[in-house]
């Protein structure tokens, strides 16, 4: 597609439940990034992929967060046993090249609310 598609737009989970978010990058883009935006300002980097391979996962809280980008499927970000502090907007972005000059195209985000 011509835009990054994230689903669902909103997700509500009880504390301790699992949450799974999806992202379809722009067709032809090899790089996918996941960011967590808390309180409308701070963007925390979670993980990036080059095709189906993890490129950089330095931001991932590995004990509960996992992510995949499999061929011919949307990328996914899964949170096991959600906590209240996981409430945030999760953005996916894709870019064509890894180079420093290429912009990232963002999806509209998934708002996760943990209650």
Footprint of other proteins (CB under 8 A): 33, 35, 40-43, 45, 48, 55-56, 59, 89, 91, 93, 98-101, 103-106, 108-109, 111
Residues in the chain: 115
* Residue for token pair 């963002």: 106
Q: Closer to other proteins at the Cβ: 35 or 65? A: 35
Q: Give me the least distance between CB of 27 and other proteins, in Å please.
A: 19
Q: Closer to other proteins at the Cβ: 48 or 82? A: 48
Of the candidates 14, 32, 2, the one whose C-alpha atom is nearest the C-alpha of residue 84 is 14
In angstroms, the CA 57 to CA 47 distance is: 4
Of the candidates 16, 17, 23, the one whose C-alpha atom is nearest the C-alpha of residue 1 is 23
In angstroms, the CA 35 to CA 88 distance is: 10
Q: Closer to other proteins at the Cβ: 65 or 91? A: 91
Q: Give me the least distance between CB of 105 and other proteins, in Å please.
A: 8
Q: Give me the least distance between CB of 22 and other proteins, in Å please.
A: 16
Q: Give me the least distance between CB of 71 and other proteins, in Å please.
A: 21
Which residues share a beta bridge with 56? 48
């Amino acid at each position: 597609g011509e835009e990054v598609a994230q689903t669902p737009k909103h997700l509500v989970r009880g504390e301790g439940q699992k949450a799974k978010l999806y992202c379809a990058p722009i067709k032809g883009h090899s790089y996918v990034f996941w960011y967590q935006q808390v309180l409308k300002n701070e963007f925390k980097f979670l993980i990036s992929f080059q095709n189906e391979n993890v490129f950089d996962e330095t931001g991932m809280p590995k004990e509960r967060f996992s992510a995949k980008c499999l061929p011919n499927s949307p990328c996914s970000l899964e949170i096991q046993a959600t906590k209240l502090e996981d409430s945030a907007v999760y953005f996916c972005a894709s870019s064509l090249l890894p180079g420093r000059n290429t912009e990232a195209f963002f999806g509209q985000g998934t708002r996760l609310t943990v209650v």
